[in-house]
């Protein structure tokens, strides 16, 4: 076995996964192994130490890799080996079916050896980033006479549901345009009204000024929100190149001044129109100017590598259902400062936009139906923001969270160990 000191590398991860296992009620089936709830520690000399720490510390690190869905030590997810204060451990992980794995952990300390087997079940909890109408990782600003309410596209159009009045006398569909951030929030401007909670991050505040009104809580969140990563496994090959099917633009129709080049750069201007049919696609950038129109027909998921500048034209979702246009911003403004998403709602826009590492701006007045999530979010120009409650059930685009549950645990006689 490789005698590498894993005290610093593994202990924190072992402790984290141990807590997860304890929470699931899936502790080992041996009283000698109550240590799993405590995480790894240096083994004591003799049978008690070997029984407790070495093989099960390896199993805990293996479970941590499965929980994170990440190879933490370069020898395949679930396989791990190392040394803790003179004792060696090694774990081999074997896939049994789509959700079950067999982990065999062996510990050696001096002349003593012990092997244990654990069967684990891995499930994925689907993630959904659209719990709020507007969420900004760093901050959110809403101003310029903006309005905010909610509706449910699964029950019909917004117009058919906008038959109620809020306490300020505004016509709304229903209360629930919740705005949140892991940082501060500013709501300002005469006529700006948010019918929903406007909650900043822990230790931050919501500033409501300039005649703006909020019908809901402005108290900070109890804990910051973790934004799930975009699921790029459907976008990139193992060598980092974009999958060919996502760059097949042959079914896109163009009229007037509209184009998409082989590099995935979309340019629409001078009244031109580009229509994207049902499907999942990747583009490098989008620029819409001079009343150009980017239209989508059917259900479209659009991965955008860098910048979207749609302020000079319109994005038309022909279905009128926000969930039928999912825009996923892959850009990272910390690496490329120009990476950002700017859109106009002046002609009405139905979409769900998720760009956790890019600044996002909605402008141009008009109405935005759906939800937006960005590194920062600015809603300007008096746009009416209508949160679609149906987006809370939207699945896809982001990575779910693994859960790991231990199904069985047993000791294996040394002469029967692999």
User: Strand, helix or coil at 239?
Assistant: coil
Output the pLDDT for position 3. 37
Output the pLDDT for position 224. 92
Q: Is the pTM of this model over 0.75?
A: yes
Q: What is the pLDDT of residues 261-297, one digit of tens each?
A: 999 999 999 999 999 999 999 999 999 999 999 999 9
Output the pLDDT for position 418. 63
Tell whether the model's pLDDT for residue 254 goes beyond 80: yes
Q: What is the pLDDT of residues 227-251, one digit of tens each?
A: 999 999 899 998 999 999 999 999 9
Q: What is the pLDDT of residues 193-215, one digit of tens each?
A: 999 999 999 999 999 999 999 99
Q: What is the pLDDT of residues 379-402, one digit of tens each?
A: 987 899 999 999 999 988 898 888
pLDDT > 90 in the chain, percent: 73
Tell whether the model's pLDDT for residue 14 goes beyond 60: no
The beta-strand segments (E) located in 111-210 are 112-125, 134-142, 147-151, 164-165, 171-172, 179-181, 185-188, 193-194, 198-199, 206-209
How crowded is residue 415: how many other Cβ atoms within 10 Å of its Cβ? Answer: 6
User: Strand, helix or coil at 25?
Assistant: coil
Highest mean pLDDT among 216-220, 362-366, 409-413: 216-220
CA distance 162 to 146: 17
Can you tell me which residue has the tokens 């244990």?
116
Output the pLDDT for position 42. 38
Cα 168 to Cα 40, 66, 193, 344, 390: the distances in Å are 59, 52, 9, 27, 26
Greater pLDDT, 71 or 335: 335
Tell whether the model's pLDDT for residue 260 goes beyond 60: yes
- Confidence category of residue 417, pLDDT binned at 50, 70, 90: low
Output the pLDDT for position 396. 84
Tell whether the model's pLDDT for residue 18 goes beyond 60: no
For residues 283 and 350, the answer to whether their CB atoms sit within 8 Å is no
Tell whether the model's pLDDT for residue 7 goes beyond 50: no
CA distance 377 to 203: 19
| Cα–Cα nearest to 418, from 191, 176, 7, 117 | 117
Output the pLDDT for position 99. 93
For residues 366 and 316, the answer to whether their CB atoms sit within 8 Å is no
- Confidence category of residue 416, pLDDT binned at 50, 70, 90: low
For residues 396 and 300, the answer to whether their CB atoms sit within 8 Å is no
Q: What is the pLDDT of residues 52-67, one digit of tens each?
A: 578 888 999 999 999 8
């Amino acid at each position: 076995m490789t005698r590498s000191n894993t005290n610093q590398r593994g202990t924190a991860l072992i402790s984290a996964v141990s807590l997860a296992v304890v929470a699931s009620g899936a502790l080992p089936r041996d009283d000698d192994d109550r240590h799993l709830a405590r995480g790894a520690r240096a083994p004591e000399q003799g049978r008690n130490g070997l029984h407790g720490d070495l093989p099960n510390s390896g199993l805990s690190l293996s479970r941590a890799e499965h929980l994170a869905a990440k190879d933490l030590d370069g020898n395949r997810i679930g396989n791990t080996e190392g040394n803790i204060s003179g004792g060696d451990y090694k774990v081999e992980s074997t896939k049994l079916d789509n959700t079950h794995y067999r982990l065999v952990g062996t510990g050696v300390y001096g002349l003593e050896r012990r092997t244990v087997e654990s069967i684990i079940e891995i499930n994925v909890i689907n993630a959904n980033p659209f719990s709020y109408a507007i969420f900004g990782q760093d901050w959110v600003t809403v101003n310029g006479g903006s309005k905010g309410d909610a509706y449910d596209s699964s029950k019909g159009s917004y117009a058919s549901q906008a038959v109620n009045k809020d306490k300020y006398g505004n016509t709304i569909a229903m209360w629930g345009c919740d705005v949140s951030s892991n940082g501060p929030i500013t709501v300002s401007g005469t006529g700006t009204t948010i019918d929903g909670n406007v909650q900043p991050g822990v230790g931050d505040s919501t500033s409501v000024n300039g005649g703006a009104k909020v019908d809901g809580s402005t108290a900070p969140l109890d804990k910051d929100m973790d934004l799930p990563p975009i699921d790029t496994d459907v976008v990139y090959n193992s060598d980092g190149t974009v999958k060919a099917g996502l760059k097949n633009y042959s079914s896109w129709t163009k009229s007037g001044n509209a184009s998409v080049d082989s590099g995935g750069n979309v340019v629409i201007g001078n009244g031109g129109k580009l229509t994207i049919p049902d499907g999942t696609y990747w583009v490098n950038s989008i620029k819409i100017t001079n009343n150009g129109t980017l239209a989508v027909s059917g259900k479209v998921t659009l991965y955008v590598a860098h910048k979207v500048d749609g302020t000079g034209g319109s994005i038309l979702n022909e279905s009128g259902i926000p969930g039928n246009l999912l825009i996923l911003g892959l850009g990272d403004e910390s690496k490329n400062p120009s990476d950002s998403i700017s859109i106009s709602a002046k002609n009405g826009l139905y979409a769900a936009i998720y760009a956790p590492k890019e600044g996002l701006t909605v402008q141009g007045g008009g109405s935005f139906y759906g939800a937006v999530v960005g590194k920062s979010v600015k809603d300007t120009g008096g746009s009416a923001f209508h949160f679609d409650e149906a987006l809370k059930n939207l699945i896809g685009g982001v990575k779910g969270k693994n859960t790991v549950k231990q199904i069985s645990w047993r000791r294996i006689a040394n002469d029967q160990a692999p």
